[in-house]
Amino acid sequence: MRSNLLVVLVFFLSGCAIDLGTTQAEAPPAPTVAVAKSCPLLRDVAGGVLGVAGGARSMATGKGESLWFLDGLRVHQADGSEPTWKAVSLALPASATVGGCLAGVTTADTPTPLFDATGLPAGQSLQPLAPVRAGDKAWLFYGIDVADSTAAFGVRRGGYGVAQSATLAPPFHMGATALWAGDGPSFGGSSLVDGADVYVYGCKNSGFLNADCYVARAPADKLDDVTAYVYASGGGHWTADVEHAAAMVHAGDPIAVQYQPTQQRYIMAYVTPLGQRLSLRTGLTPTGPWSQPREVAGCELPFLDPGSFCGGVALHPELAGLGAGDLAITYTINTFQRPAGLGDASYDARLVVLQVPAGMP
Q: Is residue 98 domain-resident? A: yes
Q: Give the confidence band of 351 by pLDDT, cuts at 50, 70, 90.
A: very high
- Averaged pLDDT for residues 68-94: 91
Domain count for the chain: 1
Q: Give the confidence band of 20 by pLDDT, cuts at 50, 70, 90.
A: very low
Q: What is the mean pLDDT of the chain?
A: 88
Residue 150's domain spans which residues? Answer: 8-23+38-355
Q: Is residue 32 domain-resident? A: no
pLDDT of residue 130: 98
CATH label of the domain that carries residue 68: 2.115.10
Q: Is residue 333 domain-resident? A: yes
SS (H, E, C) the chain: CCCCCCCEEEECCCCEEEECCCCCCCCCCCCCCCECCCEECCCEHHHCEEEECCCEEEEECCCCCEEEEEEEEEECCCCCCCCEEEEEEEEECCCCEHHHCCCCCCCCCCCCCCEECCCCCCCEEEEEEEEEEECCEEEEEEEEEEECCCCHHHEEEEEEEEEEECCCCCCEEECCCCCEECCCCCCCCEEEEECCEEEEEEEEECCCCCEEEEEEEEECCCCCCHHHCEEEEECCEEECCHHHCCCCEEECCCCEEEEECCCCEEEEEECCCCCCEEEEEEECCCCCCECCCEEEEECCCCCCCCCCEEEEEEECCCCECCCCCEEEEEEEEECCCCCCCCCHHHHCCEEEEEECCCCCC
Q: Is residue 274 domain-resident? A: yes
pLDDT of residue 225: 96
Give percent above pLDDT 90 in the chain: 70
Would the pTM count as exceeding 0.85?
yes
Q: Is residue 154 domain-resident? A: yes
pLDDT of residue 132: 96
How confident is the model over 150-172, as pLDDT tens digits?
Answer: 987 789 999 999 999 988 889 99
How confident is the model over 170-182, as pLDDT tens digits?
Answer: 999 998 889 999 9
How confident is the model over 304-348, as pLDDT tens digits?
Answer: 999 999 999 999 999 988 998 999 999 999 999 999 999 999 999
pLDDT of residue 5: 34
Q: Is residue 83 domain-resident? A: yes
Q: Is residue 28 domain-resident? A: no
Q: Is residue 309 domain-resident? A: yes
